[in-house]
Amino acid sequence: MKVLVVGGAGYIGSHMVKMLLGEGHDVITFDNLSSGYRDAVVGGTFVQADLADKAALEEVFVKHAPDAVMHFASYIQVGESVRHPDKYYLNNFTNTMNLLDAMVKHGVNYFIFSSTAAVFGEPEYVPIDEAHAKNPLNPYGRSKLMVEQALGDYERAYGIKSVCLRYFNAAGADPEGQLGERHEPETHLIPLVLQAISGRRDNITVFGRDYDTPDGTCIRDYIHIVDLCSAHSLALRKLMETNISRRYNLGNGAGFSVQEVIAAAQKVTGKPIKVAEGERREGDPARLVADASLARSELGWKPVYADLETIIQHAWQWESKTVGKPV
Ligand SMILES: NC(=O)c1ccc[n+]([C@@H]2O[C@H](COP(=O)([O-])OP(=O)(O)OC[C@H]3O[C@@H](n4cnc5c(N)ncnc54)[C@H](O)[C@@H]3O)[C@@H](O)[C@H]2O)c1
Ligand SMILES: O=c1ccn([C@@H]2O[C@H](COP(=O)(O)OP(=O)(O)O[C@H]3O[C@H](CO)[C@H](O)[C@H](O)[C@H]3O)[C@@H](O)[C@H]2O)c(=O)[nH]1
C-alpha cells in the first residue's frame, strides 16, 4: 500500500514511517520541518512542503497517488494555543481542510487522524471512553475537535472514511534507539524529567501538589509510541476492510502521577534528580486516563510496552544519546 504520512518528520510521525516501512508499505512523508527533522525520516520518499501550499499538495497527490493518508502535522502546545489561537486554527484546522480537499479531488478515501485527549476537556469521569462529552478547554483541543466534526461532514458529502485516534500521553522512544522525542521547546513531562537527570536541565518543576489525587500531583496515562503506531496500522487495515469510520481513545488505562513518574525515572536510570516546586499549570485536569477497550476489542490492539518503566527506559536510551547537546 502507498501511505502519505503528513507530519512524518515529527516525534510520532517518524516512528510511524519506520513502522510502515517495516511492514512493507510505500511511504511518502510530507512535512515542512517546522518542528520535525529530515534525519528522523528513515526511508521512503520525502517531500518538504507546507500544508498551506495547495500546489505542493496537488503535486504530491498527482505524482504519488497514495491509497491512504495518515495526518500527524499540527501545532501541539496547549499554552501557546491560548495565546495564539489564530496560529492553531490555521494550521490544525484550515490546513487540514486543504489536505482533505486534495484527497476528495484525487479520490483518496482513507484518512487516519491524530486527535487528542484534549477534545474531552475536564473529565466528568475516568477512565474516559469514546462516549464522554467533548468540551475542549483550549484552542488546541477545539482545533482537533473541529477536524473530527468536519470529517463527519466530509464522509456524508464526499465519502471520506476516517479513524480519529485520541492519544492520551504519547511517550517513550523507538526500542532500537534510532528515533526519539525531539520537541523544541520540550514541554512533556518524561523527556523533561530525563533531561534533568542527564544534566541537560537543572531540575524538574512539579506543577502543583494540591490536586485531588493520592499524592497531590496530576495523573496521566502514558502510552508507548510504538503501541500508538501499531494502533494506526491496525486502524488503517480495519478501515479499508470495513469502510466504517471510527473514533478510538488510546491509552493504557493506567494512570501515573507526576511524582510516580519522577520516582520511576530515578529507579530506571539509577540517578538522582533535583525537584523544584511550581504552581499549577493553567488548564491541567487532575486526572486523565483512557478507556481504550474499544480499540482493543474492535482493532485487536494490544499494547506491548504498557509498563511505565519500559516507556521510561526507551526514552532514557534516546536521551542518553544526546548528552552534551543543548536542550
Ligand atoms: N505528543 C503527544 O503526546 C500527543 C498527544 C495527543 C495528540 N498528539 C498529536 O499527534 C500529532 C503529532 O504530534 P508530535 O508530538 O509528533 O508533534 P511534532 O511537532 O513532533 O510533529 C508534527 C510534525 O508536523 C510537521 N508540520 C506541522 N505543521 C505542518 C504543516 N503546516 N505542513 C507540513 N508539516 C507540518 C512538523 O514539522 C512536525 O514534523 C499532532 O497532531 C498532535 O496534536 C500528540
Ligand atoms: O515540567 C513539567 C511538565 C509537566 N508537568 C506535569 O506533568 C503532567 C503531564 O504533562 P505533559 O505536558 O507531559 O502532558 P499533558 O498531559 O499536559 O499533555 C498531553 O495531553 C494534552 C491534552 O490534554 C495534549 O494532547 C498534549 O500534546 C499531550 O502531551 C501534567 O500534569 C503537567 O502538569 C510537570 O509537573 N512539570
Q: What does the pLDDT read at residue 323?
A: 65
- What's residue 324's pLDDT? 66
Q: Which residues are catalytic?
A: 140
Mind listing the domains of the chain with CATH numbers? 2-171+224-250 (3.40.50.720)
Q: What is the ipTM of this complex?
A: 0.98
Query: Residue 282: is its pLDDT beyond 90?
Result: no
Ligand 2: atom nearest CA of 280 is 33
% of the chain with per-residue pLDDT over 90: 97
**Please, which pLDDT band fits residue 233 given cuts at 50, 70 and 90?**
very high
* Structure confidence at residue 271 (pLDDT): 96
**For the residues 273-279, what does the mean pLDDT come to?**
98
pLDDT for residue 322: 81
For ligand 2, whether the C-beta of 25 sits within 6 Å is no
Q: Which of 75, 114, 187 to mutate to test the pocket of ligand 2 (most atoms within 8 A of CB)?
A: 187
Ligand nearest to the CA of 225: 1
Tell me which residue has its CA closest to atom 4 in ligand 2: 189
- The three-state secondary structure class of 6 is strand
What atom in ligand 2 is closest to the CA of residue 168? 20
pLDDT, residue 327, reads 79
Give the per-residue pLDDT at 49.
98
Average pLDDT, the chain: 97
The ligand placed nearest to the CA atom of residue 203 is 2
**Does residue 267 carry a pLDDT above 70?**
yes
| DSSP-H helix ranges across the chain | 11-22, 54-64, 78-83, 85-88, 95-106, 139-158, 189-198, 225-242, 258-269, 293-299, 308-320
Radius of gyration for the chain, computed over Cα atoms and rounded to the nearest angstrom: 19
Cα separation, 173 vs 164, whole angstroms: 22
Which residue bears the cell 478547554?
A: 137
Q: Which atom of ligand 2 is nearest to the CA of 189?
A: 13
- CA distances from residue 315 to 10, 173, 272, 309 in whole angstroms, order as listed: 15, 5, 17, 10
pLDDT per position as a tens digit, 8-56: 999 999 999 999 999 999 999 999 999 999 999 999 999 999 999 999 9
Model confidence over 43-91: pLDDT tens digits?
999 999 999 999 999 999 999 999 999 999 999 999 999 999 999 999 9
- Ligand 2 centroid to Cα of residue 43, in Å, is 31
Whether residue 281 has its Cβ less than 6 Å from ligand 2: yes
* Residue 4 backbone phi and psi in degrees, to 5: -90, 120
Atom 25 (ligand 2): residue with closest C-alpha? 116
Ligand approaching nearest to the C-alpha of 88: 1
Report the nearest atom of ligand 1 relative to the CA of 12. 16
Q: What is the pLDDT of residues 107-164, one digit of tens each?
A: 999 999 999 999 999 999 999 999 999 999 999 999 999 999 999 999 999 999 999 9
User: Residue 168 corresponds to which cell in the numbers above?
Assistant: 492520551
- Per-residue pLDDT, 283: 83
- The model's pTM is 0.98
- Is there an atom of ligand 2 within 6 Å of 188 CB? yes
